[in-house]
Chains A and B, each alone.
Chain A
Amino acid sequence: EPEVTQTPSHQVTQMGQEVILRCVPISNHLYFYWYRQILGQKVEFLVSFYNNEISEKSEIFDDQFSVERPDGSNFTLKIRSTKLEDSAMYFCASTVNRDQPQHFGDGTRLSIL
């Protein structure tokens, strides 16, 4: 069964550094998402992306965050200047259309030191 893949599985970064998290969505999917889960808390929506632009973003997704689909297969989340509170699991998801369920990758654990 096709799946969403994310790399790296664990990223350790110094505070203030830039980090890029990578995702390969399921190949025929058109809608892409990032969510995050701080340890012990619920999974929270960050951003949705369709047709090469952001459809919706949460209040968490401030100017330090950006997303990109640089080619036909990858979908990336960049954090420009990381803060301690950015430490979390980051999940990528994709779906073929908005009325279908989203499928999630196994996440990248981001640790900011």
Chain B
Amino acid sequence: QKEVEQDPGPLSVPEGAIVSLNCTYSNSAFQYFMWYRQYSRKGPELLMYTYSSGNKEDGRFTAQVDKSSKYISLFIRDSQPSDSATYLCATNRDDKIIFGKGTRLHILP
């Protein structure tokens, strides 16, 4: 079983819509959960970082972690064309990051 699984997409939504991106993970020992955004030919850029179940909000972005079902979500409100990118969910084992394969998101103007 893969440690972090994501639907690769692509996911296309109209500008202004709410976007929901999801991930599952396999190991209940994972402690920290992250969402990174990656534009083409760029490095992963940290969006959200959390270590507890529940919601964490930052502007238009909300990260949600459900440790009982090993499920991670990222919600983007009022989506913009500039949000078009690949979104990587990630967790850690010791101090190394384990990434999902990423979901490609297209926001249509």
Q: Which of B44, B45, B49, B97 contacts A45 (CB 8 A)?
A: B97
Indicate whether A104 sits within 8 Å of B45 (C-beta atoms), given known contacts A41-B101, A43-B88. yes
Count contacts on A: residues with CB < 8 A to the other chain.
27
Q: Using a CB-CB cutoff of 8 Å, which residues 11-46 of chain B contact chain A?
A: 32, 34, 36, 41-46
Q: Say yes or no for A48: interface residue by CB 8 A criterion.
A: yes
A41-B101, A42-B101, A42-B102 are contacts. A48–B45 as well, Cβ < 8 Å? no
Q: How many A-B residue pairs have CB under 8 A?
A: 54
0/1 per residue, A76-113, Cβ < 8 Å to B?
Answer: 00000000000000010101001101111111010000
Q: Which residues of A contact B97 (CB under 8 A)?
A: 33, 35, 43, 45, 93, 102
Given A41-B101, A42-B101, A42-B102, do A48 and B95 touch, yes or no (CB 8 Å)? Answer: yes
Chain B residue, CB-CB nearest to A101: B49
Which of B32, B88, B94 is in CB contact (< 8 Å) with A56? B94
